[in-house]
Structures are given as C-alpha cells and as structure tokens.
Amino acid sequence: MTAYETLEQRFARLSALREAAGILHWDMSAMMPPGGAGARSEQLTALDLTCHELMSDPALADLLDEAEGDADSLDTWRQANLRGMRRTWRHETALEPRLVEALAKAQHACEMTWREARPASDFAAVLPGFAALLKLVREAAEAKAAALGCAPYEALLDEYEPGGSAARIDEIFTDLAAFLPGFLGQVLERQAAQPAPRLPPGPFPAAKQEALAHKLMQGVGFDFDHGRLDTSLHPFCGGVPDDVRITTRYDEADFTGALMGVLHETGHAMYERGLPPEWRLQPVGAAAGMALHESQSLLVEMQACRGAEFIGYMAPLARAAFGGQGPAWEADNLLRLATRAAPSFIRVDADEVTYPAHIVLRTRLEKAMIAGDLDPKDVPGAWNEAMESLLGIRPPDDRLGCLQDIHWYDGAFGYFPTYTLGAMAAAQVFATARAAVPDIPAALSRGDFAPLMAWLREKVHSQGALHTTGDLLKQATGKALDPEIFKAHLTARYLG
C-alpha cells in the first residue's frame, strides 16, 4: 500500500475508537446510573490514551511526510483528507500523554460534580474541580498554540472551527454587541403595542411531548432505524452518523422548549446523516466545523420551524396531542409565542434576538479565563455583571447563571462562538435555499422538509470537510459569511 492508503487504514481505526467514546459519553449523560461514574471515567481515559498512543506513533509522522510528498497524485477529496489528517495529528501530538490522561480524568470528574451542583445551584461544590480542569485546559492551550503557531485561545477555537479567526470573531461580536441593544428595544416596543401571546394551559405530560416530537422529527427526515431520542440534563446530539443520539429535557408546564430543542438537535442529526458515506471514518468525511454544524441545527429550529409556514402545520398537531381548546392553540398565537423576544437567563431557551448576547457573554468570559485574567472563583460575579450589562437582567442564582451549560465543566473552551457564527450562516443558507427552491415554504406548510433537505444534502451535507466553512459557504450561497444577512433576517421577522 502507499503511504496515503496506510494512513486511511490507521485513521479509520482511530475514528472508530473515537466513535466508541462518543457512545459512552451519550450513555453517561442519558442512561448511566451515578454509581458508574468512576468506571466510566477509567474507560474513557483509556480510550483517550489509546488514541493518543496510536497518533503519536513515529511511523505515523513518517507516513504523513511521505504522503504529503506525493500529494499531487491524489484527487481533491484525498488531498483534503490528508490535510485533515495533518491537522488532527498536530492537535493530538501537541500534548504529552501525562496531560492527555490528566485532562480526561479532570473532565469526567468535573462533569459529574456539575451534574449534582447545577440543580442545587452550588458553584462552591464544583469550584475545586473546575479550577483544576481550567489549569489543565490552559496548559493544553499553550501546548497547542506552540504547535499551531497561534494564540492559546485560537488553538482551542481551532478544535471546533478549523482555521477560525479570533480577531474576526471579535469584530463580529463587537458589532453585534453594538447592534442588539437598540434593536431589542425596538422589538420590545413593537411587541408591547400588540396583544401578548398566551402559553396554552398545561400540564403537558412528557410522554405526549415525546410522541409529538417523534412525529415532527420524522417530518424533518429523522430515521429512527439510525437514531433515537432520550432525556438528559443538558440537550445534545451525539452518537455517530449511523446511530445518532438526540437528548432533550421536558417541562410539563411548557411544551414549547423541549419541542424546539428536539427540532434543533434534529437539524444536527440530519447533517450527521447526510455526511458522505464513502468517506466514513476519515477526517474529510466529518463535519466541516461546529459553526456549520450549528448552522444546520439553527436552520431547522430558528429559520424553518419558527416560521409561519411550519407553525401553521404544527398548531393543529399540538392541539390534538394535548387535547387543547381555545385561542391559545391557534397558529397565530403559537407563532407569536415562537418569535417573542425577551431577555431571559437560560441560553438554550433564548429567542434568536437575545441569543447572541448569551454567546458574546460566554466568549468574553472564556477568553479571559484562558488568558488568566479571570479566576475561576470570580466567574459567578463576572457572569452576573455581564448578563446585567448585555441583557439588563441579573441571575438570582448560579443555576440560572454560570452553572447552566455543561461546556466549561467538561473542558470545552472555544466552542461557544460557533453558536452565533452558526446562526448567521443559517440565515444565509436558508435565504439561498428558498431562492433556489421556491417550493420550500409551501412544503414546510405541509410539514414536508424533503425539498429543503435535498438542497442541503447536495450543497452542504455531502461536502463533508472537503472545504473550510468559509469556502463551503461561498460555494453554497455565493459569498462568505455576511453578518448583515442575519441582521436583515431579524429585522424582517421582528420589525417587518
């Protein structure tokens, strides 16, 4: 075999091990009893170390050098795959085995503590583990920065958004932070002049919410032969392309949060299922980055499912599912409910006008933590002050503040910016899709996502990591990421 062919074999083995770890992570969040935490930590740490050992094999470095010397003989997909292999190798080999093991153990320990600390609003309980984890994350960031030739925070960002620019994100977020307060004020003023939407009266049994979610997921195109829906403390989409695992959390006083959360995660799942199967287990067969991944979830949830067409389809289904009666169940009321903007504490329940402020807050704080400018013990106070500054509200406790997200307590720093980058990309991609396929709105009014998904499969999903996010957006929409399209979408929906 050629050096490149040997690399494909090795990376397929590595990817399979990573996928096994992903399923174990899902089980830890959705099924595992608390008493299994110690054993699960050992299992996941062992997998992390095994993957690191395979990647650190000197022979693999030699194979990469040899394959890159013959790169001109490879086709476009294989060249992109080889670039992905090199990038993965740089990230992995930047860390010593000691640090890989310490990080894995600290992540699992801190996450399990967070699971108990969040509902109790007990930041003090998680602080020692969080401080220890942050110290290791900073050490890893320094090591990766040296290997990649960039700043520490940008090295962490690159794990989730290959080639992402911290300077460009700062520019976009500074502009958003200047735009949003005035825009939100206009939206709130307009809403105040209209009748307030009414939440349909509950209760809404979790089993009935789940049944409705299943029906809507199938309309989007979710294949239950290759995936499932469960519950967890923090909603997420995990698993592997052939076995996608979605979780949500139910509130029996309000069905809308869980339902929109499921549709959001279904967007992630559809992207995973649409990735090129011929490049399964190879870097080029994975998602282009988390900004694009988040664009697919937000396209389904925010762009499509909070639009008038889909709400018109969903309203009678929801009314029938819960035996509802009266004007609160009418489509126009549910639409106003789905598009009502108001400052709120919980990110995953935030509307699309205030959501970017949540991301700006988290991005600024995590950058300060990685730079050493924010001590872990000061995170609750810094969080509350930032929330008051950006949204005019102050969390009454840490459950509604700095403990609400799992990311930092699982060691995931550098992820948060991709949410708002994804929201912007979603607006841009959806606008292009609607222009290219005029039948999309009418199809959504029937609960039929097939025309939209067919376009996304061709233009986005099937491309895997063949291109960077920026290049893929240019090919799919004709231009690079343009924040003005997102602003235009907000203006049309909330002030139009």
Task: Report pLDDT for 349.
Answer: 87
Across the range 348-368, mean pLDDT stands at 95
Average pLDDT, the chain: 96
What is d(CA 170, CA 416) in angstroms, rounded to the nearest whole number? 13
Tell me which residue of 351, 326, 323 sits closest to 337, measured CA to CA: 351
Task: Report pLDDT for 334.
Answer: 97
Across the range 18-35, mean pLDDT stands at 94
Q: What fold characterizes domain 168-495?
A: Neurolysin; domain 3 (1.10.1370)
Bridge-partner residues for 237, per DSSP?
A: 246
Query: CB of 270 within 8 A of CB of 220?
Result: yes
Q: State the Rg of the chain over Cα.
A: 22
Q: Is the confidence at residue 496, as pLDDT, over 90?
A: no
Task: Report pLDDT for 233.
Answer: 84
Task: Report pLDDT for 52.
Answer: 95
Query: CB of 185 within 8 A of CB of 354?
Result: no
- Tell me the CA distances in angstroms from 451 to 187, 218, 444, 455, 456, one per residue in order: 32, 14, 9, 6, 9
**Tokens of residue 231, six digits:** 């519950």
Q: Is 238 helix (H, G, I), strand (E, B) or coil?
A: strand
Model pLDDT for residues 189-238, shown as the tens digit of each residue: 999 999 899 999 999 999 999 999 999 999 999 999 999 999 998 889 99
366-395 burial code (b ≥16 CB/10 A, e <16)? bbbbbeeebebeebbebbbebbeebbeeeb
Q: Is the confidence at residue 369, as pLDDT, over 90?
A: yes
Model pLDDT for residues 135-176, shown as the tens digit of each residue: 999 999 999 999 999 999 999 999 999 989 999 999 999 999
Model pLDDT for residues 428-443, shown as the tens digit of each residue: 999 999 999 999 999 9
Q: Is the confidence at residue 14, as pLDDT, over 90?
A: yes
Give phi and psi for 247, each to the nearest 5: -130, 155
Task: Report pLDDT for 229.
Answer: 97
Domains of the chain: which residue ranges? 3-152, 168-495
Across the range 46-54, mean pLDDT stands at 95
What is d(CA 431, CA 158) in angstroms, rounded to the nearest whole number? 28
Q: Is the confidence at residue 333, as pLDDT, over 90?
A: yes
What is d(CA 107, CA 41) in angstroms, rounded to the nearest whole number? 9
148-185 burial code (b ≥16 CB/10 A, e <16)? bebbbbbbbbbbbbbebebeebeebbeebbeebeebbe
Say which amino acid occupies 132: A
Question: CB neighbours of 272 closer than 8 A, spacing ≥ 6?
Answer: 237, 239, 240, 241, 244, 287
Task: Report pLDDT for 331.
Answer: 97
Cross-sheet strand order for the sheet of 243-248: 227-231, 243-248, 236-240
Sign of the C-alpha dihedral computed for residues 299, 243, 90 and 460 taken in this order: negative
Active site residue 265: yes
Task: Report pLDDT for 234.
Answer: 82
Q: Is the confidence at residue 413, as pLDDT, over 90?
A: yes
Burial class (CB in 10 A: 0-12, 13-18, 19+), 355: buried
Model pLDDT for residues 238-290, shown as the tens digit of each residue: 999 999 999 999 999 999 999 999 999 999 999 999 999 999 999 999 999 99
What is d(CA 47, CA 24) in angstroms, rounded to the nearest whole number? 10
Burial class (CB in 10 A: 0-12, 13-18, 19+), 192: exposed
Share of the chain above pLDDT 90, in %: 98
Question: CB neighbours of 393 closer than 8 A, spacing ≥ 6?
Answer: 343, 344, 345, 387
- Tell me the CA distances in angstroms from 137 to 83, 102, 113, 412, 437, one per residue in order: 25, 10, 18, 9, 45
Query: Which one of 265, 272, 309, 352 is the catalytic residue?
Result: 265
Task: Report pLDDT for 218.
Answer: 96
What is d(CA 81, CA 7) in angstroms, rounded to the nearest whole number? 10
pTM of the model: 0.94
